[in-house]
Amino acid sequence: MKLTAIDYYERAGTRSREGDNKGALANINRAIRSDPRMAIAYFARGDIKRSGGDAKGAIADFTMGIKLDPKFAPAYVG
């Protein structure tokens, strides 16, 4: 069974809730590779990076999420 971008996104959320940021990041990267236009995935990756101390990387991902979907309000908050 081939996993979709949504599947990887959901796995990333599970890993993140379990405190596994490395696993969450790996899965969200797969989601983005699978669907590079998935704005919410960039927001999620930015959130993971921010929680890991990578503010610069987080801002870059939030910015990409905004470029892909300017109406996606959480990316502005991030």
In sequence order, the 6+-apart residues with CB closer than 8 A to the CB of 22 are none
DSSP annotation of 4: P
Average pLDDT, the chain: 93
DSSP output for 16-42: HHTT-HHHHHHHHHHHHHH-TT-HHHH
The model's pLDDT over 29-65, given as tens digits with 9 standing for 90+, comes to 999 999 999 999 999 999 999 999 999 999 999 999 9
pTM over 0.85: yes
73 by Cβ neighbours in 10 Å (0-12 / 13-18 / 19+) ranks as exposed
> What is the average per-residue pLDDT within 23-31?
98
Band (75; pLDDT cuts 50, 70, 90): low
